[in-house]
Amino acid sequence: MTNYFLPSEFVKDVFTITPERLKSKNIRAIITDLDNTLVEWDRPGATPKLIEWFKSMKDAGIQVIIVSNNNELRVKSFADPLGIPFIFKARKPMGKAFRKALHLLDARKEEVVMIGDQLLTDVVGGNRLGIHTILVVPVAKSDGFFTRFNRMVERAIFKSLKRRGHVTWKEDI
């Protein structure tokens, strides 16, 4: 059970994830969360730096799909201007949206990474399917109501993982 909560990697932000690094691991697609992973949960659109990151992935032939628990309006208004496919109301960590994303990407789980800011949704969901998971530090320090509850649970899980020596990174979420 502990393994479900352990991300394969922990990084500061999505910008440390480069196409070269992914290609060296034979990764050809990204499933990513939206809110507090790519942008603040209350920011309507992508930043110029994020637009450039998406472009670098596309130029390298790495596909990206957004899988979010948020509603259609939120996800569509962010993803459509960028031309990025998306799945809304994903019900992460349940597996259905992840399997749908793999199908839409026409990729095997070994060729995909899941990037997210939450253990209980993104990491657990990706790990349950055997997808390489990358946990990022949340972009914003504030969260919506349900996410605040998840963060409380996550802090307890992190403490437990640290006590057992499973967490080796220096930064706390």
The CATH number covering residue 56 comes to 3.40.50.1000
In the numeric block, the tokens 């993982």 are attached to 161
Answer yes or no: is 46 within a domain.
yes
pTM, two decimals, is 0.86
Model confidence pLDDT, tens digit, residues 81-90: 999 999 999 9
Answer yes or no: is 169 within a domain.
no
Q: How many domains does the chain have?
A: 1
Q: What is the DSSP letter of 110?
A: G
Answer yes or no: is 172 within a domain.
no
Read off φ and ψ for residue 112, nearest 5 degrees.
-130, 145
Buried residues in 132-164 as b, exposed as e (16+ CB within 10 A):
bbbbbebbeeebeeebeebbeebeebbeebeee
Q: What is the rounded distance in angstroms from the CA atom of residue 67 to the CA atom of residue 75?
A: 9
Q: What is the pLDDT of residue 168?
A: 62
What residues make up the domain containing 102? Answer: 2-163
Q: What is the pLDDT of residue 130?
A: 96
Answer yes or no: is 65 within a domain.
yes
With 0-12 CB in 10 A as exposed, 13-18 as middle and 19+ as buried, what is 131? buried
Of 43, 101, 45, residue with least CA distance to 68: 101
Answer yes or no: is 170 within a domain.
no
Answer yes or no: is 127 within a domain.
yes
Point out the residues of the chain with pLDDT beneath 70: 1-2, 142-148, 151, 166-173
Read off φ and ψ for residue 81, nearest 5 degrees.
-60, -25
Q: What is the pLDDT of residue 173?
A: 41
Answer yes or no: is 157 within a domain.
yes
Read off φ and ψ for residue 59, nearest 5 degrees.
-60, -30
Answer yes or no: is 171 within a domain.
no
Q: Collapse the DSSP code of 95 into the 3-class scheme (helix H, G, I; strand E, B; otherwise coil) and give the result.
A: coil
